C-alpha cells in the first residue's frame, strides 16, 4: 500500500472535469486501502483573485462535494491546507533549492500570468513549490491528478533530488496517477474543463440545466449533418460517454455515429440521461451534507489534527537535516 496525497482548490463547485479526471480516482485509491491524504488547498487559491467573504463557504462546500463524490473521512484524511502551518514552513525550505528557471518554465504559471495580467504575484510563481511541500510533508508516493499537473509533479521530483543532494534528506519521489480520462475538455471542446474558463458542467446541475449546456456543446467538427460519418475518438461528448455510459451502450453509440445513423443531439440526450443516473445519488448526498455545516467543520478539524501530527514529524526531520537550531528540544 502507498501513501497517497492530492489537493484541490476551493475555487467553486466541483465539476465533471474534476470528478472524472481526479476525484473519482481519489475515491478508488481510498477504496483500494491506500493511506490517503486529501487536502483543500486554500493557500493555493489565494494566488488568484477571490472574495474573502465567500472563501470559508467555498471550503465547506468543497468538503461536502468531495464527501458526496465518495471520499470517506473515516478512511481518508480530509483536511484544509491553511489549518496545517507546516505546509508554508516546508514550502519555504524547499524554495531554497528550487531553481527560478524551472518555475518560470511552468506552463500553468505562464498561462495564469497571461490571464491575470495585473496580478502576477510571487505566490503564483511559487505555487508549484507549495504544491511540492503539500505532497512531501506526508511523504506522498502516488498523486492522483489530471494531466495538467504533470509538469508540477516533475518539478516536485526535481525538488526531491535537489533537497537530497543539498541536505542528504530523502523524500520519496512522488508519481502522478492519472484517471481513466486524463484530460476532459470543456463544453467549448477546446480548453480543459475549468471553472475560470466558464466551460464546465458542475456536479450539482439538474438534467435540464445540463441539457442547456450540452445542447450547444462542441462535438466532432467534421460533422455537419446527421448523415455525415462521425469520429467518436475525437469527440469530447463521446469522451464523457466513456466515463458515464456502460461499455455495451457506448459501443453501440460509437458504431451508429460512425455510420451517420445517430446524430449529436441523440448522443447528447443519452449522455445526459446516464449522467443523471450517475450523479443523482451524489447530488442527494451533497444536499444532505450541507444541512449540517457544523458536522463538516468537525470532520475538517479532525482531519487537520491527523494531518498535522504527520506534518510536524516531517518538518522536525527536515529542520534537523537543514541544520536549523533547536531551542525547544523538538
Ligand atoms: N495544483 C493542483 C490543481 O490545480 C492542486 C494541488 C495543490 C495539488 N497541491 C497539490 C494536487 C498537491 C496534487 C498534490 O489541480
State the pTM of this model.
0.95
Residue 63 pLDDT > 90, yes or no?
Answer: yes
End-to-end CA distance of the chain: 30
Instruction: Report the pLDDT averaged over residues 39-51.
Output: 96
- Cβ-in-10-Å burial (0-12, 13-18, 19+) of 51 comes to exposed
Q: Is the CB of 44 within 6 Å of ligand 1?
A: yes
**Confidence band, pLDDT 50/70/90 cuts, at residue 60:** very high
Residue 318 pLDDT > 80, yes or no?
Answer: yes
CB atoms within 10 A of CB 290: 15
Helices (H), strands (E): how many in the chain?
14, 5
pLDDT tens-digit series, residues 225-263: 888 999 999 999 999 999 999 999 999 999 999 999 999
Residue 239 CA, ligand 1 centroid: distance in Å: 23
Residue 215 CA, ligand 1 centroid: distance in Å: 32
- Quick one: pLDDT at residue 260? 93
- C-alpha span between 99 and 113 (Å, rounded): 19
pLDDT tens-digit series, residues 190-212: 888 988 888 999 999 999 999 99
**Average predicted confidence (pLDDT) for the chain:** 95
Secondary structure element (H or E) that encloses residue 275, with its range: helix 264-290
91, 311 contact by CB (below 8 A)? no
**What percent of the chain lies above the pLDDT cut of 70?**
100
- C-alpha span between 23 and 14 (Å, rounded): 9
pLDDT tens-digit series, residues 143-163: 999 999 999 999 999 999 999
Instruction: Report the pLDDT averaged over residues 47-66.
Output: 96
- Quick one: pLDDT at residue 330? 66
Q: Is the CB of 81 within 6 Å of ligand 1?
A: no
**Confidence band, pLDDT 50/70/90 cuts, at residue 90:** very high
Catalytic residues: 112, 192, 195
Secondary structure element (H or E) that encloses residue 157, with its range: helix 150-167
Q: Measured in whole angstroms, how far is the alpha carbon of residue 314 from the centre of its chain?
A: 24
For residue 89, give the 3-state DSSP assignment: helix
Q: Which atom of ligand 1 is nearest to the CA of 5?
A: 14
By residue count, the chain amounts to 330
- C-alpha span between 87 and 135 (Å, rounded): 9
Q: Which of 106, 129, 134, 183 to mutate for ligand 1's pocket (most ligand atoms within 8 Å of CB)? A: 134
Residue given cell 467555498 in the structure block: 58
Written as nine digits, the cell of 44 is: 493555493
Residue 182 pLDDT > 80, yes or no?
Answer: no
303, 79 contact by CB (below 8 A)? yes
Instruction: Report the pLDDT averaged over residues 283-287.
Output: 97
Q: Is the CB of 145 within 6 Å of ligand 1?
A: yes
Residue 283 CA, ligand 1 centroid: distance in Å: 24
Residue 18 pLDDT > 80, yes or no?
Answer: yes
Written as nine digits, the cell of 2 is: 502507498
Q: Which of 23, 66, 115, 131 to mutate for ligand 1's pocket (most ligand atoms within 8 Å of CB)? A: 131
Domains, the chain, ordered by start:
3-184+292-322 (3.40.50.620), 204-287 (1.10.240.10)
Residue 9, CB-side half-sphere exposure with 13 Å CA sphere: 16
Q: Which atom of ligand 1 is nearest to the CA of 134?
A: 12
Residue 183 CA, ligand 1 centroid: distance in Å: 15
290, 283 contact by CB (below 8 A)? no
Residue 73 CA, ligand 1 centroid: distance in Å: 19
What letters, b where the CB count within 10 A reaches 16 and e where it falls short, cover 73-106? beebbbbbbbbbebbebbbebbbebbeeebbeeb
Instruction: Report the pLDDT averaged over residues 290-316.
Output: 98
Residue 12 pLDDT > 90, yes or no?
Answer: no
- Quick one: pLDDT at residue 140? 98
Q: Which atom of ligand 1 is nearest to the CA of 128?
A: 1
Amino acid at each position: 500500500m502507498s501513501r497517497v496525497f492530492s489537493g484541490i482548490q476551493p475555487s467553486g463547485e466541483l465539476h465533471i472535469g474534476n470528478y472524472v479526471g481526479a476525484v473519482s480516482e481519489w475515491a478508488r485509491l481510498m477504496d483500494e486501502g491506500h493511506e490517503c491524504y486529501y487536502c483543500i488547498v486554500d493557500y493555493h487559491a489565494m494566488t488568484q483573485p477571490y472574495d474573502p467573504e465567500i472563501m470559508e463557504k467555498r471550503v465547506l462546500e468543497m468538503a461536502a462535494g468531495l464527501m458526496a463524490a465518495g471520499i470517506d473521512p473515516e478512511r481518508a484524511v480530509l483536511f484544509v491546507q491553511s489549518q496545517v502551518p507546516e505546509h508554508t514552513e516546508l514550502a519555504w525550505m524547499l524554495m531554497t533549492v528550487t531553481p527560478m528557471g524551472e518555475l518560470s518554465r511552468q506552463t500553468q504559471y505562464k498561462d495564469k500570468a497571461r490571464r491575470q495580467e495585473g496580478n502576477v504575484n510571487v505566490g503564483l510563481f511559487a505555487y508549484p513549490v507549495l504544491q511540492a511541500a503539500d505532497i512531501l510533508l506526508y511523504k506522498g508516493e502516488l498523486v492522483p491528478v489530471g494531466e495538467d499537473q504533470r509538469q508540477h509533479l516533475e518539478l516536485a521530483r526535481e525538488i526531491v533530488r535537489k533537497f537530497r543532494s543539498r541536505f542528504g534528506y530523502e523524500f520519496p519521489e512522488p508519481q502522478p496517477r492519472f484517471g481513466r480520462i486524463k484530460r476532459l475538455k470543456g463544453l467549448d471542446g477546446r480548453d480543459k474543463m475549468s471553472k475560470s474558463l466558464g466551460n464546465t458542467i458542475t456536479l450539482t446541475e439538474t438534467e435540464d440545466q445540463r441539457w442547456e449546456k450540452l445542447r450547444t456543446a462542441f462535438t466532432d467538427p467534421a460533422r455537419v449533418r446527421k448523415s455525415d460519418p462521425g469520429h467518436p475518438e475525437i469527440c469530447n461528448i463521446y469522451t464523457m460517454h466513456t466515463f458515464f455510459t456502460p461499455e455495451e451502450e457506448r459501443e453501440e453509440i460509437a458504431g451508429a455515429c460512425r455510420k451517420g445513423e445517430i446524430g449529436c443531439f441523440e448522443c447528447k440526450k443519452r449522455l445526459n440521461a446516464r449522467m443523471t443516473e450517475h450523479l443523482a445519488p451524489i447530488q442527494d448526498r451533497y444536499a444532505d451534507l450541507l444541512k449540517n455545516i457544523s458536522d463538516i467543520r468537525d470532520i475538517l478539524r479532525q482531519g487537520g489534527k491527523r494531518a498535522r501530527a504527520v506534518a510536524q514529524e516531517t518538518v522536525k526531520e527536515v529542520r534537523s537535516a537543514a541544520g536549523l537550531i533547536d531551542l525547544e528540544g523538538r
